[in-house]
């Protein structure tokens, strides 16, 4: 009898395909074989309870095609974990497993969280400063272009990518996607109760590739630029979709949830729908990934406590200081217009102005996102209904001049001794901005102006070294001497001038 019981328990463990060890904040995956006699997406319930003796988490599973069901779990504590499945399908029910969560490796810092109200950090407390970009439909272009996009990103310009889960239909983006999210026939004859697992497998492959480059995947859940009918799905279908992507994607540590790109342009959804979606992600995501909602003309009320940060579309990045006080959370200008040469005003910024917007945003306590919309041939010849390749829509290569300078600023911010907070260390009426860390570090920026001198007010009881930075030329020049108290600083009289004071340690 004892042998029979032991054998039964052993078979229960062996029926679960999974690994024995997994790093903290990586993915532990259970793979189960089940029947598909009914609709596996709507008729089969599957979850697993994970416990390490102190913490208990329940995680939903999903159907991955070909009779395969999966449950993904991201352990957040080291040690031995056990799990047991629950399902209304007998072949998936009461399956057990144990595994060890080991210490995270050097480059694995965990999910990004909000830190000290206005900033971000990884879960291991390493500071994170978002310098993002937008490639709305890069995951729908096929391997060749996607690999080129990843090669470009590997140069370290950005650490966040805004990207759509659904395919996008818009100017210069008329090509059909390589896959569709639902079973059925294009363009509008879909079975919304049956997902296409291959479609979502492709997206999670790209999420993992971004993670390998240290890039956060800011996933846009809904958007209005659509010829397939996905923006018009009803609440029940939306909920089914949201639960499915949470069960598939939430275990990836670099995932963020963006409820929408330009939510207010989706006229088939009401404000209570958006409140519901935000609530649903807050309740269903076991790992509490970052949540935002992006607007077109009507800014959402980002004081909603379930939103972790404010995603802003506006070119006035210098107003980050005001929005910090208004919303009491981190401010990211995910769209401040795009560097490019297209006919739309939102996509024809000069590289100089894009760089200026980044500097003004950062030195007012916010964060700014990049975008690029260069047509490789004559814009009139291409026409806005064509399918031209550009970074903003499909990825590929960067043709502009701002990304290298954004990387330069990113390195400056990341080298600061701590989180930077807006300060006033100049005449209050000046249109300039400055941020500082305690009394140790100050960074002032003078916009596109060309000042030859400025008065800066430093703490009286400390001495500072001074460096003059040019944000366009990407130069840092040390200035001889030590500075303290009210100081008249000689400047080069050039645009993109910034100055950096660092406290001299005795």
- Tell me, letter by letter, the H, E, C secondary structure of 208-275: HHHHHCCCEEEEEEECCCCCCCHHHCCHHHHHHHHHHHHHHHCCCCCEEEEEECCHHHCCCCCHHHHH
What number of residues does the chain have?
506
pLDDT at 352 over 60: yes
Report the C-alpha gap between 394 and 387 in whole angstroms. Answer: 10
- In whole angstroms, how far apart are CA 281 and each of 307, 392, 499? 10, 27, 42
CATH number, domain 2-102, options 2.20.25.10, 2.60.40.10, 2.60.120.10, 3.90.1150.10? 2.60.40.10
List Cβ neighbours of 480 (8 Å cut-off, separation of 6 or more).
none
pLDDT at 172: 84
Q: Do domains 2-102 and 421-503 have the same CATH topology?
A: yes
List Cβ neighbours of 271 (8 Å cut-off, separation of 6 or more).
none
pLDDT digits (tens, 9 = 90+) for 184-208: 998 889 999 999 999 999 999 999 9
Question: Are 238 and 193 in contact, with CB atoms under 8 Å apart?
Answer: no
pLDDT at 188: 81
pLDDT at 109 over 70: yes
pLDDT at 428: 77
pLDDT digits (tens, 9 = 90+) for 457-470: 999 999 999 999 99
Helices (H) and strands (E) in the chain, counts: 10, 30
pLDDT at 63 over 70: yes
Find how far residue 182's CA is from the centre of its chain: 25
Tell me what the mean pLDDT of segment 88-93 comes to.
96
Report the CATH architecture of 421-503: Sandwich (2.60)
pLDDT band at residue 14 under the 50/70/90 scheme: very low
Task: Centre a 10 Å sphere on the Cβ of residue 10 and count the other Cβ atoms it contains.
Answer: 10
Of 224, 282, 251, 258, the closest CA to residue 130 belongs to 258
pLDDT at 13 over 80: no
pLDDT at 16: 52
Going from N- to C-terminal start, the domains of the chain cover: 2-102, 112-414, 421-503
Report the CATH architecture of 112-414: Alpha-Beta Barrel (3.20)
Tell me what the mean pLDDT of segment 478-496 comes to.
97
Find how far residue 19's CA is from the centre of its chain: 28
List Cβ neighbours of 417 (8 Å cut-off, separation of 6 or more).
437, 440, 441
pLDDT at 9 over 60: no
Q: Within 13 Å of residue 36, how many CA atoms lie on the same side as its CB? A: 13
pLDDT at 5: 36
pLDDT at 387 over 90: no
Tell me what the mean pLDDT of segment 401-409 comes to.
98
Tell me what the mean pLDDT of segment 17-27 comes to.
88
pLDDT at 386 over 80: no
pTM: 0.95
pLDDT digits (tens, 9 = 90+) for 367-383: 999 999 998 765 555 45
Write the DSSP assignment of 297-336 as a string of letters.
Answer: SS---TT-TT--SEEEE-S-GGGHHHHHHHHSS-EEEEES
> Where is average pLDDT lowest: 115-119, 387-391, 432-436?
387-391
pLDDT, averaged across the chain: 94
């Amino acid at each position: 009898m004892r042998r029979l019981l032991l054998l039964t328990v052993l078979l229960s463990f062996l029926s679960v395909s999974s690994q024995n060890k997994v790093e903290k904040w990586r993915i532990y995956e259970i793979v189960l074989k089940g029947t598909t006699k009914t609709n596996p997406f709507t008729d089969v319930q599957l979850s697993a309870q994970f416990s390490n003796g102190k913490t208990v988490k329940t995680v939903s599973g999903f159907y991955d095609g070909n009779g395969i069901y999966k449950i993904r779990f991201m352990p957040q504590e080291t040690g031995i974990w056990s799990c047991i499945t629950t399902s209304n399908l007998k072949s998936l029910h009461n399956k057990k497993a144990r595994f060890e969560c080991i210490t995270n490796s050097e480059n694995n810092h965990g999910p990004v969280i909000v830190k000290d109200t206005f900033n971000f950090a990884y879960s291991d407390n390493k500071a994170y400063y978002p310098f993002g970009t937008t490639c709305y439909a890069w995951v729908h272009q096929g391997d060749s272009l996607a690999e080129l996009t990843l090669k470009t990103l590997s140069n370290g310009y950005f650490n966040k990518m805004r990207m759509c889960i659904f395919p996008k239909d818009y100017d210069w983006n008329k090509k059909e996607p390589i896959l569709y999210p639902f079973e059925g026939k294009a363009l509008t004859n879909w079975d919304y109760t049956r997902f296409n697992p291959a479609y979502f497998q492709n997206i999670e492959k790209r999420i993992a590739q971004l993670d390998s480059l240290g890039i956060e995947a800011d996933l846009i859940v809904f958007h209005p630029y659509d010829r397939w009918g996905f923006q018009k799905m009803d609440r029940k279908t939306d909920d089914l979709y949201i639960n499915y992507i949470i069960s598939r994607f939430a275990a990836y540590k670099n995932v963020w949830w963006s409820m929408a790109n330009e939510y207010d342009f989706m006229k088939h959804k009401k404000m209570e729908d958006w409140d519901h979606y935000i609530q649903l992600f807050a309740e269903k995501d076991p790992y509490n990934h970052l949540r935002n909602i992006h607007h077109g003309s009507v800014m959402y009320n980002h004081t909603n406590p379930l939103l972790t940060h404010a995603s802003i579309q506006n070119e006035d990045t210098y107003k980050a200081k005001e929005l910090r006080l208004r919303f009491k959370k981190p401010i990211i200008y995910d769209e401040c217009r795009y560097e490019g040469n297209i006919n739309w005003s939102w996509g024809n910024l000069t590289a100089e102005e894009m760089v200026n917007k980044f500097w003004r945003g950062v030195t007012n306590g916010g964060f700014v996102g990049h975008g690029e919309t260069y047509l490789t041939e004559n814009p009139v010849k291409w026409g806005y209904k064509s399918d031209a390749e550009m970074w903003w829509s499909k990825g590929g290569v960067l043709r502009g001049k701002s990304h290298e300078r954004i990387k330069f600023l990113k390195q400056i911010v990341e080298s600061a001794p701590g989180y930077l907070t807006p300060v006033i260390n100049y005449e209050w009426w000046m249109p300039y901005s400055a941020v500082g860390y305690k009394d140790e570090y100050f960074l002032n920026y003078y916009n596109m102006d060309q000042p030859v001198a400025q008065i800066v007010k430093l703490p009286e009881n400390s001495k500072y070294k001074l460096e003059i930075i040019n944000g366009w030329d990407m130069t840092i020049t040390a200035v001889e001497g030590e500075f303290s108290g009210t100081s008249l600083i000689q400047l080069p009289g050039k645009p993109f001038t910034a100055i950096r004071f660092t406290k001299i340690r005795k």
